[in-house]
Amino acid sequence: MSNWQTITCKHTGERCYYLLHRSGLPIYVWPKKGYASSYAVFATNYGAIDTAYRDAETGKSVEVPAGIAHYLEHKLFENEECDAFERYAKTGANANAYTSFDHTAYLFSCTQQVTESLEILLDFVQDPYFTEQTVEKERGIIGQEIRMCEDSPSRTVFCNLLTALYHRHPVRIDIAGTVESIAEITPELLYGCYHGFYDLHNMVLSVAGNVTCEQVEEVADRLLKPAHGKVPARVPVDEPIAAAQSRIEVRMPVSEPLFYLGYKVPQDTANGVRFESAADTAAADVLQELLGGKGNALYADLMRRGLINASFELEYFDGPGYGVWILGGESADPDAVCVAFRAEVARLCREGITQDEFEAARNAVYGRLVSQLDNVEACGDMVIGAHLAQQSPFAVLDEVAALDIQSVYRRVAHDFNEEASALSLVLPVAKG
């Protein structure tokens, strides 16, 4: 264990361990004594927004079709002999993968044969195999997935919101791309993106649960291939502060209107890298509870008036060059909900946040974060999210415990600019 660094949560005493492997891969292991299950995530700092980048060797700007990161995620599960799911079936592991706006992750959970399942994970993600035939076959599968999403009201109301908020940033484009954009994807483009972004220096491995550092390191020593470390650079996007449009409406077969009210938050970025501190994240988490929590006065009032139901939610998500507050759900009168929410934000800006309100929200967030420590999947995901945000695994939890009321108030005053807001609506099909 001499090469492993111990990372300890100041407020709970929880520990995980970190190793920068000789291959260049950062590895985190979070042993959970007494747990039967294990969970592993192998992620790359490469996602749907990376439709343009600067080549590490030539310095030239490269543009690729929207949806290529998601396409690559699908294709990596297959190689010349079989697919990874067939191999996982022999170990009993439950495997999956996903592509987000800013990263791609491959994962599994298991209750036995964790070493064998980890071998499969590290093997297939490092072994790309693309041919004209396999790429063409996948085009039909993903094209069908895209068309299904286009028929989904919940997906439509979300994607339309981002289109309304953003002028240029690729977060405005659906993660899967479009039927037209994926038609341009070739094996050569997939290999180019893979060899650029799936460099171990640009990736991270997180393993939590019934596992030891020695087990993980032994597998890593055998299977990880040395990487050159020449990773493409993200290209910053000059995104205006104001929203592209203030309102977007479509009609679909829904029984109640769906809505999302969104606020685009200005980002402090350089070279396409996101610089939000753990304290900023902690303040956003507490503000989310203050404005959208089910125990606050706004939620109670909206429920009493019959303007919202259990689908109501408020969340904040961000990444390189983008940050969005999103509020919504089902409502018979979305505009009335938006008026009430804007009035509550204005009140907080005018009157401030009481100490009692702040402490109740902070305690709720802290309790939720602590409760996640009992879930191995939440622990593994926590590590991945923190690493990609250039934060320590326990940084946000510790910052929530130490947070002051002024940090939250600053976010209220900074984040909710009406010029940077938009309302997305999916309305029922008109009768007659």
Q: What is the token pair recorded at 345?
A: 């934000």
3-state SS assignment for residue 310: coil
CA 411-415-417 angle, to 5 degrees, is 140
CA 375-49-149 angle, to 5 degrees, is 75
3-state SS assignment for residue 46: coil
CA 57 from chain center: how many Å? 29
- Report whether 140 contacts 111 (CB < 8 A): no
- Report whether 42 contacts 106 (CB < 8 A): yes
Is 256 marked active-site? no
Rounded Cα distance between 131 and 249, Å, is: 41
Identified catalytic residue from 14, 57, 63, 73: 73
- Residue 208 region by backbone torsions, left for phi larger than 0, else alpha for psi between -120 and 50, else beta: beta
- DSSP labels for 388-407? HTT--TTHHHHHHHH--HHH
In the block, residue with structure tokens 């969340």: 315
Looking at the annotation, which residues are catalytic?
A: 73
